[in-house]
Amino acid sequence: MASLQDYEVGAARKHVPWRTYMLLFSVLVVLKAPQSVLAKKDNLKEVTDGNWEDILTGEWMIEFFAPWCPACRQLQTVWGEFAEWGDDLGINIAKVDVTEQPGLSGRFIITSLPTIYHCKEGVFRRYQGPRTKDDFLSFIDEKKWQNIEPVSSWFGPSSFLMNTMSALFKLSMFIRHCHNYLTEQLGIPVWGSYVIFALATLFSGLILGLILVFVADFVFPSRRFQSNYYQRKQLSEQARLQHQLEDEQMADGEEEDEEDEDDEDETGSREDLWHKARGSSDGRPDAFADEALRRRVLATRQEEEEEDT
């Protein structure tokens, strides 16, 4: 019995180094595996609403995808292999999950999935070529992106229009989360959720209208609330009435002057006619009047001579 126990102990001692080697090998494998995974994650960057401005500098290739999209799932393997060439090409390769980043979905107007953008120093171009690793590599290496027309500055992700669009997409996603919370967590019916959102919209509109009224009244205050408004209004009314009375008096005076002028014109015209008939205004006989007198004298002489004959 003693010899058998010694044999088993000796056999166990012989197997101890092999077990130790296997344990060390397993530990090394476990330590090496996370490092390779981390290296791949570092090569494939992830863009979010918080760090999207990083893509405005340098050169980037960005994929917009969704986990539920079958075409996006097929592209993930190729895109990961392409990301391993990022350091060699001097380019940043990233991805965006539109279900988690609705603001970026609205900022880039993503209407189909997957969508790929190329960015060079803030200038964006939409990639529409084949989706294989070799095509991606040639697109960057041969600079085929120069043949693509860039996105207009009006629709650039940093423009005011796209900032507004991003805010709207975020708001829509927030409303969707609230709707899901009301219907799934609190058990409120769908129509009840719609009623709540309708009342909230009406209430927010009223609040916004009041704020706009207050702002407008502060910028352009009403004259009724200014100091001495009624006193100034009364004085202006009195001045207006006095001015109106003066205008009426002046109008009456002008009418009287016109009547006097008309009377003087009538008397003057009569005197002129009489002077014309009798002579000039300074007492001297007018030439017309002398000629008439001569004709009358001649006529009377002729009549006297005819009576004598």
| Residue 72 is among the residues annotated as catalytic for this protein | yes
The whole-chain average pLDDT of the chain stands at: 75
Residue 41 has pLDDT above 50, yes or no: no
Instruction: Specify the DSSP element, H or E, that contains 93.
Output: strand 92-97
d(C-alpha 194, C-alpha 178), whole Å = 11
In this prediction, residue 194 carries a pLDDT of 82
* Higher-confidence position of 77 and 229: 77
* CATH architecture, domain defined by 47-163: 3-Layer(aba) Sandwich (3.40)
Gyration radius (Cα) of the chain, Å: 54
Choose, from 66, 69, 109, 173, the residue flagged as catalytic: 69
d(C-alpha 254, C-alpha 115), whole Å = 87
| Residue 178 is among the residues annotated as catalytic for this protein | no
Phi, psi of 108 (to 5 degrees): -105, 5
Side by side, the strands of the sheet bearing 92-97 are 44-46, 92-97, 59-65, 115-120, 123-127
- Give the pLDDT mean for 146-174: 81
d(C-alpha 293, C-alpha 286), whole Å = 11
In this prediction, residue 102 carries a pLDDT of 87
The model's pTM: 0.52
Choose, from 72, 98, 104, 182, the residue flagged as catalytic: 72
pLDDT digits (tens, 9 = 90+) for 265-296: 555 555 555 455 455 444 444 555 566 667 76
pLDDT digits (tens, 9 = 90+) for 231-269: 666 677 777 777 777 777 777 666 666 666 655 555 555
